[in-house]
Copies of this chain bind each other. A is one copy, B any other.
Amino acid sequence: MSQSIELVEVGMRDGFQSIHSIIPTGSKIAIMEALYAAGIRRFEATSFVNPAAVPQLADAVEIMRAASTFAGLDAQALVPTARQAERALTAGVRHIAFVFSVSPAHNQSNVRRSPTESIDELGRIIAASPAHIRLRINVATAFDCPYLGRVSMDNTLACVERVIELAPHAEIALCDTTGRVTPDHVGQLFQRAQERFPGVRWAFHAHDTYGFGIANVHAAWMNGIKAFDASIAGLGGCPFAPGATGNVASEDVVWLFNSMGIRTGIEVDPLLVVARDLAALPDAVTGGRIREAMAARCRGPAIQALSPG
């Protein structure tokens, strides 16, 4: 009867890639170790991209090698193209994450391809992957696009259908790229997706830019979703609003589910320790809410001001 969710820690990819000062590989592995010790068993650990474009992730091979030494750890590496997938597979990566956007404008800006070209690229990745390779597909702008606004559910589901035809066993993450999504929209799209494509494994990638991250995660959960991307300390920021927060924070998501009696396998306190260290990194844009509230000291009497006069 006990229910559980799976948290996918994306801070080492989505968070680190936005930090300009290079974090030493050893420090990254120490962070992964601390998060593993807190109970995290799944990471989007890095991305195979052009090292000249993203020097922070130039150590993708070393990170994935380190990840493979943790017992029971499932580490996925993000790849945007078949060429990068080849690099990842050569490096021994066993879980590949592919990303494309439903929105043509966003996909063009992100990977200089149309959504159709990206889905073709996915086909080439699948063709090149041995059967044991696991696949996660991140459907960006599944709800809302920074350039075009609200994305129609029909449009998203049509893209998802083409992806499922190519990769019926992939896990599919619907991503709130802008953080502007509301819980009703999250619930409705996941409901429709599950009705139309039964048997698919789903995940939700929430942003917290407008403070709706936890509400949206809860709405996805209420609609049957059990895998959630989150970033320790909310690391990553919002690429569309400099200085604003981006990914929903892992510690907030874990605290939500732990408080509701839903098993995460993760302890909050050690997450908070890591989150505080990360918040101190140069260039780090962090988010998350429980860190500050838990750091604040209880001072006792409530609304003393209301004492009867």
Contacts and interface: CB of A to CB of B under 8 A. Distances in A.
A14 B64 CA distance: 51
Interface stretch (A126-134, A165-173, A270-278, A286-294): A286-294
Nearest to A255: B210
A184 interface: yes
A244 B290 CA distance: 10
Given A109-B300, A212-B214, A289-B211, A49 B242 contact: no
Interface in A62-83: 78, 80-81, 83
Contact of A303 (B212, B239, B290, B306): B239
6 A-B pairs with least C-beta separation: A50-B309, A211-B289, A241-B296, A215-B215, A81-B308, A244-B296
Contacts of A297: 241-242
25 contacts: A17-B306, A18-B305, A49-B306, A53-B305, A81-B308, A84-B308, A99-B306, A109-B300, A110-B303, A111-B307, A112-B307, A146-B302, A179-B293, A184-B260, A185-B260, A210-B293, A211-B293, A214-B214, A218-B218, A238-B293, A239-B299, A240-B299, A241-B298, A242-B296, A245-B293
Given A184-B260, A259-B182, A302-B177, A83 B309 contact: yes
Contacts of A54: 305-306
A242 B300 CA distance: 10
Nearest to A214: B215
A239 B301 contact: yes
B244 A302 contact: no
Given A211-B214, A252-B211, A300-B109, A17 B305 contact: yes
Nearest to A99: B306
Contacts of A305: 17-18, 47, 49, 53-54, 57
A302 B106 contact: yes
Greatest chain B CB density within 10 A among A113, A211, A244 is at A211
A52 interface: yes
A109 B301 contact: yes
A243 B296 contact: yes
A256 interface: yes
A304 interface: yes
A289 to B, nearest CB: 3
A291 B274 CA distance: 28
A211 B177 CA distance: 20
Interface string A37-52: 0000000000101111
A169 B91 CA distance: 70
Greatest chain B CB density within 10 A among A213, A256, A293, A300 is at A293
Contacts of A242: 296-297, 299
A156 interface: no
A109 B299 contact: no
Greatest chain B CB density within 10 A among A49, A208, A303 is at A303
